[in-house]
Amino acid sequence: MKDAEMLYAAARRHFDETVRIRRDIHRHPETGFDVERTAELVATAMGTLGLAVRRNVGRTGVTADLDVPGARRRIALRADMDALAMQEQTDVPFRSVNDGRAHMCGHDVHTAALIGTARLLCDLKEDLAAGIRFIFQPNEENLPGGALSMIEDGALEGVDEIYGLHVLPALEAGTFGLRRGAFLGQPDSFEITIRGKGGHGAMPHYTVDPLYVGALFVTAVQAIVARNTDPFTPVVVSVTQFHAGTSDNIIPAEVAIVGTVRTLDKEVQQAIRGRLEAILAGITSANGADYELTYTEGYPVTRNHDRCVDKALAAAHALVGEERVVCPYPAVLGGEDFGYYGQRVPSCFAFIGCGNPERGIVEMCHHPGFDVDEDCILHAMAYFAALVTGDT
């Protein structure tokens, strides 16, 4: 690995321009696969470096190869480009100009930092023993995700290992969080319709009230985690939507319920899924109602491979010191389609701190007031570069 001081010096040479790119992307957020402006910005920036650029990978993704003569291995570095469908509530001068779309998860940072890393590594090409593939992916936020379509379109062809990162306000800028094995959860979702018999609110004895049945289900489902799983097993079952009714004097005919199940283990996930439907079937049957359940499995668990974690830890320790690297960082039940890459090649996903309590930068990802300490971009560039310089 290149000396940490030299890597930071190289990163600083490109820092101001990388911050400008990040703010431009932040100001013009795009969602899902509809990231044409961002993808064109990326492709143009990578093309000016003389890299081999592929556009429209997995629909709207971009890959760029930095080829190293004689290299027998290729390492991939991945960033996601999409924003969230939500309204930004910050006062930064470069806040979103696209109503109802905002980079409240930091993907603008990931994308800009990877562009900056490419520039840095082109300066240090003589220190590379492996080729580098830069992967810029759309649609991380929404099922089915963008990783699978990227993989199907050849994004991992010839790749030996892959690394990714995500900003995290819970950690201060200049710190890292890493973990071996299962790191991020499988984010499943469920949609339920409970059908009863509607009628007048003053004559409930002529009805089968789906609101009552739905309320029983919402209450009973809490027991899955409280009473049906090992208390030391990370599991979340959350009901997040409950829709019914049109008037104060009408008992509706049906109720719609939506929620999420988050797990780190396939056996646990299957048990939770079965228990959820058993509770639903029992409650509806006991009360004369019917139900319809749609259960959708989300991204696979993101698992870090030991060899890649070893390399990531060495890089982070060299950059910021062991005291600023948290390993093991607690597993998180948020989902990431980076897990698909790790099913194909050895991988490591890391958290990089972007918080700054003194400046009030504390809100978590997906909060309308989410912000980052832009110093995290410098650390992200240096970290990516440390992973690949001197690799054999």
Does residue 140 carry a catalytic annotation? Answer: yes
Quote the CA–CA distance of 140 and 95 in Å, as a whole number: 21
Distance in angstroms (rounded) separating the CA atoms of residues 370 and 105: 7
Domain boundaries, the chain: 4-185+300-388, 186-296
Q: Write down the pLDDT at residue 34.
A: 98
Which tokens is 75 given? Answer: 């390492």
Structure token digits, residue 67: 């080829």
Common-topology check for domains 4-185+300-388 and 186-296: no
For 303, residues 6+ apart whose C-beta sits below 8 A from its C-beta are: 181, 182, 183, 339, 342, 347
Angstrom distances, CA of residue 242 to CA of 65, 217, 221, 252: 48, 11, 14, 13
SS3 12: helix
Assign domain 186-296 to its CATH architecture: 2-Layer Sandwich (3.30)
Task: Report, at the CATH architecture level, how domain 4-185+300-388 is classified.
Answer: 3-Layer(aba) Sandwich (3.40)
List per-residue pLDDT tens for the chain, 392 residues long: 668 999 999 999 999 999 999 999 999 999 999 999 999 999 999 999 999 999 999 999 999 999 999 999 999 999 999 999 999 999 999 999 999 999 999 999 999 999 999 999 999 998 899 999 999 999 999 999 999 999 999 999 999 999 999 999 999 999 999 999 999 999 999 999 999 999 999 999 999 999 999 999 999 999 999 999 999 999 999 999 999 999 999 999 999 999 999 999 999 999 999 999 999 999 999 999 999 999 999 999 999 999 999 999 999 999 999 999 999 999 999 999 999 999 999 999 999 999 999 999 999 999 999 999 999 999 999 999 999 996 65
Identify whether 358 is a catalytic site residue. no
Q: Dig out the tokens for 163 from the structure.
A: 């690394």
Please, is 327 exposed, middle or buried when counting C-beta atoms within 10 Å of its C-beta (0-12, 13-18, 19+)?
middle
Among the options 80, 88, 108, 140, which is catalytic? 140
- Determine the pLDDT at residue 127: 86
At position 323, the amino acid (one-letter code) is E
Of the residues 30, 80, 82, 373, only one is catalytic, namely 82
One DSSP character per residue, 118-159 reads HHHHHHTGGGBSSEEEEEEES--SSTT-SHHHHHHTTTTTT-
